[in-house]
Amino acid sequence: MPASGAHQPAQRRVAGALLIAGPAIFLLGELISAAAWTDPAYSYTHHFISNLGVHGPSTLFGQYMYSPLAWVMNTGFFLFGITILAGVATLRDLSGRRRWATLIPASLLTFGGVLLGLYPGSGEALNNGTGEYHSMGAFAGFIGGNVLAIVLGHRRQRIGISARMGRALITVGVIGLISMVLYLGMIVAAGDNPIGIIGLIERGAVHPFLIGLLCAGASLWKRKPTDEPLAPTAIAGKTA
C-alpha cells in the first residue's frame, strides 16, 4: 500500500539518503584503501577492485596484492549492498510485482557484497576453494546492481524521479552489463595474464551503476513536496 501523503516526503528523503550512502560507502572504502596501498602504488586502471580487500602479500592472475587497509574495503563490500537494499525497500509507491522487481536485484547485489566482504579474492582463496564464493559474489554484484539501475529507471514515475534521471539509470545499467560481459571475456581469454586495463573494464561494470544510484538518491532527497506526482485517486478527484 502506498505511503500516505503526510509520510511521503519523509519516506522519500530516507530512501534518498540510503541510496546516497550505499554507493558512497563503496566508493570511499575503495578510495581510502587504494590511497594506503603505496608500494607499489595501486592503479585503478590495472588492478582488480578485489585486490583492495586482500591484505596479503599474495598473487593472483599475475597481480601482486598487498592492501594495508584491506579491512576498510571489506567493510565497504559488506555494508554497501545492505544499505542500498534498505533504500530500495523504503521507496514509496512500489507494491506487488513492482516491489519484487526492485527487491530481487537489490537482494542479489546485497548477497554479492556480503560474499565479497567475507571471502577476499586472494591467491590462497583460489587454492582453498573460497575463491569460488568471491567470484560468485562479484558477479552477483555486477548483475544485481546493473539490473537494479535499469528497473529503477523504468519505474521512475513510481519512485518519483525525473524522466532524464530514469534514462540515465537505464543507460548506466546497460553500460555496466556490457562491461561485465567484456570483463568476463577478458578473464577467460587472458587467463593468468590479463591485459593492463582490466581494472578499468571491471570498474565499468560497477562504478556507473553506483554513481547512477547515488544521483537518483540525491534527486529523491532534494525533491520538494510540491514536486510529488499526484496519486491516481487525487487525479480522479480533480477531474470529477
pLDDT at 27 over 60: yes
Contact 221, 20 (CB under 8 A): yes
Q: Is the pLDDT confidence value at 233 over 50?
A: no
The pLDDT-based confidence of 140 (bands split at 50, 70, 90) is very high
Backbone torsions φ then ψ of 61, nearest 5 degrees: 50, 40
Closest to 89 (Cα-Cα) out of 110, 75, 74: 110
Listed range (45-49, 70-74, 151-155, 233-237) with the worst mean pLDDT: 233-237
Peptide bond into 57 cis (omega under 30): yes
Name which of 21-25, 100-104, 225-229 the model is least confident about: 225-229
C-alpha–C-alpha distance, residues 92 and 158, integer Å: 8
Tens-digit pLDDT profile for residues 51-75: 999 998 888 888 889 999 999 999 9
Mean pLDDT, the chain, as a whole number?
Answer: 87
Model confidence at 76, pLDDT cuts 50, 70, 90, reads very high
Q: How far is CA 66 from CA 41, 60, 71, 74, 180, in A?
A: 10, 11, 12, 14, 25
What is the pLDDT at residue 5? 46
Work out the pLDDT band at 35, boundaries 50, 70, 90.
Answer: very high
Instruction: Name which of 206, 166, 200, 174 is nearest 186 in CA terms.
Output: 200
* Least reliable range by pLDDT among 50-54, 139-143, 236-240: 236-240
Whole-model pTM: value is 0.87
